[in-house]
Amino acid sequence: MTQDNLDTEIEKAARLLRCGGVVAFPTETVYGLGASAFDPAAAARIFEIKGRPRFDPLIVHLPATDWLERVALEVPPKAALLAEKLWPGPLTLVLRKRDEVPDIVTAGLPTVGVRLPDHDIARRLIEAAGVPVCAPSANPFGYVSPTTAAHVRLQLGDKIDAILDGGPCRVGIESTIVSFEGVSPTLLRHGGVPIETIEAVLGCAIAVARPEDPVAAPGMLKRHYSPSVQVVLFDGEIPASQGPGTGLLLISGRQVPGGFTAVEILSRSGSLSEAARNLFAALRRLDEAGLRVMFVERAPESGLGVAINDRLRRAASR
Ligand code: AMP
Ligand code: MG
């Protein structure tokens, strides 16, 4: 796409957002399905299009930190510090919301999840729309998140008003979510910013909500990010193929025994950021390979590996 075309596409998409439209756009994490965060009817369309339950709140996206005052009542000093050091980027802060943010966006909670995406197209789109944009991932609820415009087109193309194509997403997994609702910050979801980075910025350890804690992350379900084919996780040695229709997904490159119908290697060198970037597209390819089962290797449980394993656990859950 030429620069002029892109400018026109962004302007058109921004106009749609201002008039209650629903538009898919790239961010550094995954493709989002956006609507004006101040328009309850437009937000309702997002829930309908995705088949997303209404108890699952949407994250509100801003183009600049000074927009925070339009959606958040207050920004505690530690939240401001994280925003200063880690925005734009894959970090969502949960803060007390202003009345202007409709209940449907926050699933009736008194808080709102906000973030500044680190993507030029996302930032320009929201700025041109002139309103904060609520956006979950642009896929049917529960399925693997989209990391290319083609993923979005395939599943939601005929249901939405526009798709902006920014190429493949750089980070490839969703944002890390930190809540400031309580007295001290709590990590609600592992994501594109490793917890080690957050703790280094804050200079202290932070609490991590347990997955079974219902107040922790409304809408975060045990089964999510799920391909249709059965997913079986493993560590260490590669399991033997179960015959035709067996797929294999490896985090890093190594010798693969015979007998697998399809094999995906997320990063030959074992880079966890490369593995995260390739994860969802690889799961989709395996899901389309006519398999009966896929064996999926767990990542090392540190840095981005924690978020990768969180997604894999949910993908494998039935
Ligand atoms: P996503 O599906 O990546 O758009 O992220 C949405 C998730 O963010 C939800 O499923 C919630 O777990 C979390 N979330 C969003 N807003 C809030 C909030 N106000 N309080 C707690 N969690 C939130
Ligand atoms: Mg999602």
Which pLDDT score is estimated for 214? Answer: 61
Domain ranges of the chain: 3-208, 230-316
Local confidence band at 215 (pLDDT 50, 70, 90 cut-offs)? low
Atom of ligand 1 minimally distant from the CA of 216 = 21
- Per-residue pLDDT of 42-71, as tens digits, reads 999 999 999 999 999 999 999 999 999 999
| Nearest Cα residue to 126 out of 42, 56, 192, 27 | 27
State whether the beta carbon of 117 lies less than 6 angstroms from ligand 1: no
Cβ contacts of 239 within 8 Å, gap of 6 or more: 232, 295
> Is the pLDDT assigned to residue 275 strictly greater than 90?
yes
Among 28, 31, 59, 187, say which to mutate for ligand 1: greatest number of ligand atoms within 8 Å of CB.
59
CA 45 to mean position of chain CA atoms = 19
Which pLDDT score is estimated for 21? Answer: 98
State whether the beta carbon of 94 lies less than 6 angstroms from ligand 1: yes
179 alpha carbon, closest ligand = 1
pTM of the complete model: 0.95
d(CA 118, CA 227): 27
Determine contact, residues 190/307, Cβ cutoff 8 Å. Answer: yes
Which pLDDT score is estimated for 4? Answer: 79
* Ion ligand 2: residues, Cβ under 5 Å: 137
- Per-residue pLDDT of 221-269, as tens digits, reads 677 778 889 999 999 999 999 999 999 999 999 999 999 999 999 999 9
117 alpha carbon, closest ligand = 1
Cβ contacts of 61 within 8 Å, gap of 6 or more: 27, 32, 34, 114, 115, 116, 117, 122, 126, 132, 133, 134, 135
192 alpha carbon, closest ligand = 1
Task: Answer yes or no: CATH 3.20.20.140 is held by domain 230-316.
Answer: no
Lowest mean pLDDT among 136-140, 238-242, 314-318: 314-318
CATH homologous superfamily, domain 3-208: DHBP synthase (3.90.870.10)
State whether the beta carbon of 63 lies less than 6 angstroms from ligand 1: no
How many angstroms separate the most distant Cα atoms in the chain?
59
CA of 186 to the centre of ligand 2 (A): 20
